[in-house]
């Protein structure tokens, strides 16, 4: 009898065991699994003294450029120089036709004789003051006209320089338009750069600059700021700066493409590893994930210069911040993370 009762309890116990196991599995299925945090590596950023240099592009220009030509159309008798010739200030470059000059000289000589006669008569009361004044005025006008013709008949160089263009030949009729010759002073040469207004108080006359020319590769030329314009262009927010190069050896020539580097000294800046920089898709913005109290924040940053495998930051990260250097592709702003060594 007892044996029969025991056999009857066995199926019941088995049912209880199976029900308990089912319930446990159901509870385990319903309980959410704990989400694994993204593992990242971080690096603490610090301030470093970063050289503050800026590069500008420019085209070399002659220090002075003169167009040599007479004031009025006249035949060119002789051109005495050729392109590439070095010339001195006051050197005769072109001889123009002298017919008009000879006529003006004859007229001037006659007027001087007439005035001398009138002046002697005036001194003894033989003529009126008005007649003396008229003769004197005519003589002064003739002298001025003659001087002007001399200057336009014998064309002299107003500067030391080099002939860079010749547009006529001896015997041609000069009729205006292009000058007979172009003379340029290339010792020194100059360049103009447009500098951001943020540097307005830091650019000073006499500052040393470095100039490199594409044609000479990495060879550097010394230059100085010779002129700082006093106003800012409201459209570009820049101001012009004139640079001069002594150019004693005349290696630098007008028209060459130049890169001007100005050194504004060093400034303490936050420097971060280049691995920390994240580029936002579809824009040129740059970001850095900053770690604090177990979470990361997505900080927009302004980059400065690249320094080997690091970047200077103008803004976006503070000194002493911890920045993420691996695992950024799996992160979102405000996400909790685990740090790994």
User: pLDDT (tens digit, 9 = 90+) per residue, 201-212?
Assistant: 999 999 999 999
- What's the pLDDT at 7? 47
Q: What is the mean pLDDT of residues 308-315?
A: 91
Mean pLDDT of the chain: 89
| CB of 137 closer than 8 Å to CB of 129 | no
The three-class DSSP label of residue 136 is helix
pLDDT of residue 37: 87
Reply yes or no on whether the pLDDT at 61 is more than 70.
Answer: yes
Inter-residue contact 264 to 52 (CB < 8 Å): yes
* 301/43 Cα distance (integer angstroms): 16
pLDDT digits (tens, 9 = 90+) for 89-128: 999 999 999 988 899 899 999 999 999 999 898 888 888 9
CA atoms within 13 A on the CB side of 245: 30
CA-based diameter of the chain, in Å? 182
Query: What is the model's pLDDT at position 29?
Result: 47
- Find out whether 283 and 246 touch, Cβ atoms under 8 Å: no
pLDDT value at position 34?
Answer: 58
CATH of domain 55-62+186-266: 2.40.30.170
Q: How does pLDDT run across 271-291, given as a tens digit for each residue?
A: 999 999 998 877 889 999 999
Strands (E), 232-309: 238-245, 257-273, 278-279, 286-292, 295-307
In this prediction, what percent of the chain has a pLDDT beyond 90?
72
pTM: 0.70
Least confident stretch, 25-39, 52-66, 115-129, 278-292: 25-39
How would residue 174 be classed by pLDDT, with cut points 50, 70 and 90?
Answer: very high
Domain ranges, ordered by start, for the chain: 39-50+268-339, 55-62+186-266, 96-155
Instruction: Please give the Cα distance from 281 to 324 (Å, whole number).
Output: 19
Cα separation, 221 vs 247, whole angstroms:
9
Tell whether the model's pLDDT for residue 13 goes beyond 80.
no
Residue 31 has pLDDT above 70, yes or no: no
The whole-number pLDDT of residue 11 equals: 52
pLDDT at 67 over 90: yes
The model's confidence at residue 141, banded by pLDDT at 50, 70 and 90, is very high
CB atoms < 10 A from the CB of 164, how many? 18
Fold of 39-50+268-339: 2.40.420
Q: Do the domains at 39-50+268-339 and 55-62+186-266 have one common CATH topology?
A: no
| Cα end-to-end span (Å), the chain | 71
DSSP output for 40-59: EEEEE-EEEEEEEEEEEEEE
pLDDT tens across 323-335, in order? 999 989 899 999 9
Residues near 186 by beta carbon (within 8 Å), at least 6 away in sequence: 62, 63, 161, 162, 247, 250, 252, 253, 254
Q: Which of 283, 276, 281, 264 is nearest to 317 (CA)?
A: 276
User: Cα–Cα distance between 189 and 284 in angstroms, integer?
Assistant: 38
Supply 217's token pair: 């590769």
State phi, psi for 115 to the nearest 5 degrees.
Answer: -65, -40
Q: Are the CB atoms for 210 and 260 separated by under 8 Å?
A: yes
> How many angstroms separate the CA atoms of 78 and 92, rounded?
11
């Amino acid at each position: 009898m007892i044996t029969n009762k025991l056999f009857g309890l066995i199926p019941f116990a088995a049912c209880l065991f199976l029900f308990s196991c089912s319930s446990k599995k159901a509870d385990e299925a319903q309980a959410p699994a704990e989400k694994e945090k993204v593992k990242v590596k971080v690096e603490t950023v610090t301030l470093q003294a970063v050289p503050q240099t800026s590069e500008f592009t420019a085209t070399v220009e002659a220090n002075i450029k003169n167009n040599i030509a007479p004031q009025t159309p006249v035949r060119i008798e002789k051109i005495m120089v050729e392109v590439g010739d070095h010339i001195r200030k006051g050197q005769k470059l072109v001889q123009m036709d002298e017919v008009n000059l000879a006529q003006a000289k004859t007229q001037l000589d006659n007027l001087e004789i007439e005035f001398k006669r009138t002046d002697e008569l005036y001194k003894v009361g033989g003529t009126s003051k008005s007649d003396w004044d008229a003769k004197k005025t005519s003589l002064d006008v003739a002298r001025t006209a003659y001087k002007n013709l001399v200057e336009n008949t014998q064309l002299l160089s107003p500067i030391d320089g080099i002939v860079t263009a010749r547009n006529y030949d001896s015997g041609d009729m000069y009729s205006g338009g292009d000058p007979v010759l172009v003379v340029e002073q290339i010792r020194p040469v100059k360049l103009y750069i447009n500098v951001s207004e943020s540097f307005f108080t830091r650019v000073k006359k006499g500052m040393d600059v470095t100039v490199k020319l594409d044609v000479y590769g990495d060879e550097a030329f010394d230059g100085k700021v010779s002129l700082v314009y006093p106003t800012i262009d409201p459209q570009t927010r820049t101001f012009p700066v004139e640079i001069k190069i002594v150019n004693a050896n005349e290696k630098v020539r007008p028209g060459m493409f130049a890169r001007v580097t100005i050194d504004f000294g060093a400034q303490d800046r936050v420097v971060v590893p280049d691995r920390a920089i994240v580029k936002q898709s579809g824009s040129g913005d740059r970001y850095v994930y900053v770690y604090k109290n177990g979470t990361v924040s997505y900080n927009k940053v302004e980059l400065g210069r690249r320094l080997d495998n690091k970047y200077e930051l103008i803004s976006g990260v503070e000194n002493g911040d911890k920045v993420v250097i691996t695992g950024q592709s799996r992160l979102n702003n405000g996400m909790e993370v685990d740090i790994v060594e």
